[in-house]
Structures are given as C-alpha cells and as structure tokens.
Amino acid sequence: MARKDFAFGKENFILVSASIVLIIIGFMLMSGGGSGDNTFNPEIFSTRRIVVAPIVVMLGFIGVAVGIVKNSKEKIDE
C-alpha cells in the first residue's frame, strides 16, 4: 500500500481547521449593524465587538500558527 507523503499529519489538519473555524466565529462576533447617516448606534462599542471578538480571532491565528509549526507524531514515527 502506497503511503502519500503529506507535509502535515492528521493532527495538524484538525488543529488548523478548528482554528479557521475560531477565526470565522470571531469575525461573526464583530459583525452587526453600525451607525447610519443621521443615527448613532452605541452597540458598535459593545464589549463583544471590541474585546471578545478580537481575542477570539487572535486565538484562532495563534492556533493556525501552532498547527503549522507543530511536529506531527505520524511524521516522527517514520
């Protein structure tokens, strides 16, 4: 049986995929209605939008970096 030689192992792909989902969730937390021409919406300064969402996105980006750099156990066993 021929084994395909991938740069990443299964563990790396799972970690990167989960991190990308976390980034998408973070951007969804940032989204929402803004202020119009003649109206002001104070919701644009909510804690969810300016604190929680950027932290979630940064954790996602860190997770992607870790998923890329992390050595896979499958590669070590060879």
Q: What is the pLDDT of residue 74?
A: 57
N-term to C-term CA, the chain:
15
**Tens-digit pLDDT profile for residues 8-41:** 888 999 999 999 999 999 999 999 877 788 888 8
Question: Cα(42)–Cα(62) distance, rounded to whole angstroms?
Answer: 30
Phi-psi region of 6 (alpha: psi -120 to 50; beta: other; left: phi over 0): beta
Map out the domains of the chain as residue ranges: 10-31+40-73
Q: Percent of the chain, pLDDT > 70?
A: 86
Q: How does residue 1 score in pLDDT terms, banded at 50, 70 and 90?
A: low
pTM: 0.80
